[in-house]
Amino acid sequence: MRAFAIDPFRPRAGITHCGQLSYASRKRTLVVRLDNAGEVLLAGPAVRAVARTSHVTFLTAPGGAEAAALLPGVAAVLTWQAPWAGEKPPALHAAELALVVKRMTAGCFDDALILTSRGQSPLPSAMVLRLAGISRIAAMGCEAPGTLLDVWHDPPSDLTEPSRSLALAHAAGYDLGPGDDGHLAVRRPLPATQWLTGEGPYLVAHAAAGWGAAIDNLVAGGHRVVLTGRIGDRGLPSPSVRWTAASATGAVPGLVVDLAGRTDLLQLAAVVDRAEAVLPGNAEVENLAAAVCTPIARHPGLPASCREPAEAVSADA
């Protein structure tokens, strides 16, 4: 288990000079989403609701740590590869489980929210948190929880993933602040990226999404394309799609920038933030686009996005 703080832990008691409840006196809440970055980004609205009144620690899988650190309202991040989560879950070992329970106990959490997608069970996580002495645990689903949960919420099946998590936060007693419409968001400011992308406007395409023909069309129309993808992404070639870059840039060098495997999630968020549009095909990049309000392009021969962008750029141009 790894832990790192975004904002430092502070004493639990304190009143400001104005007599108001201080940050230090907030209760501690553990938010759990044992998934990778794309799914963790969807927890943003729920986290912001909880963070209005709580110091939020986020427990996630190692692949979700960078995304958790990007969420406004998260004060600290813990990572654990649980034996019931992920594509290749590890074996369960009593010693490691005892260490996790000890770390959860040391957090002195007042309550916990377990966020899951449809088809995932929160009960294994709930059992670990109950062993750690967390007295109030909220989760969602339709299974009988026994004594493992205190708030058991079954949201409507037609809700989107962020809305499902936010509905659980509401059921647990947390609400978004005034003016917060529940959109996805990331921490700002984001770092400079011109040294990565070069000068001029550009579109973003994930290197493993099969964009060869579309990139050729875009480059022929005078668009710059930035290829993205992180080391470990499923289907990401190594080296990345240099054959695409070579064919697309044969006539006009510099119109394709290959950043596949060269950025962390914070840098990727900044690259997406400054793009004219994102080509769909990778959930992590699409969720980042939604969080920074970058439109998702449409193209007749490409997979449809699950989100309707505010604007659209045709990949035929």
Read out DSSP for 234-300?
TT--SS-SHHHHHHHTSSSTTSEEE-TTS--HHHHHHHHHTSSEE-SS-HHHHHHHHHHTPPBPB-T
Q: Is the pLDDT of residue 21 over 60?
A: no
- The Cα angle at residue 194 between residues 189 and 196, in degrees rounded to 5: 105
What ranges do the domains of the chain cover? 2-171, 194-292
What is this structure's pTM? Answer: 0.83
Condensed to tens digits (0 to 9), the pLDDT of residues 132-179 reads 999 999 999 877 788 999 999 988 888 999 999 999 999 999 999 999
The predicted structure's pLDDT at residue 182: 95
Lowest-confidence segment of 36-45, 97-106, 220-229, 282-291 by average pLDDT: 220-229
Residue type, 48: R
pLDDT at 243: 44
Q: Give residue 236's pLDDT.
A: 54
Query: Is the pLDDT reported for residue 240 higher than 60?
Result: no
Q: Which amino acid appears at position 209 of this protein?
A: A
pLDDT(260) > 90: no
Helix boundaries (H) for 32-180: 37-41, 44-51, 65-70, 94-106, 123-131, 161-171
> Binning pLDDT at 50, 70 and 90, where does residue 183 land?
very high
Instruction: For residues 307 and 283, give the distance between their C-alpha atoms in angstroms, rounded to a whole number.
Output: 11
Taking only the tens place, the pLDDT of each residue in 222-232 is 889 998 876 65
pLDDT at 241: 44
CATH number of 194-292: 3.40.50.2000
Which pLDDT score, from 0 to 100, does residue 123 have? 94
- The mean pLDDT of 229-236, rounded to a whole number, is 61
Question: Tokens at residue 210, please?
Answer: 């099969």
pLDDT in tens, 4-17: 445 443 333 343 44
Domain range 2-171, CATH class: alpha beta
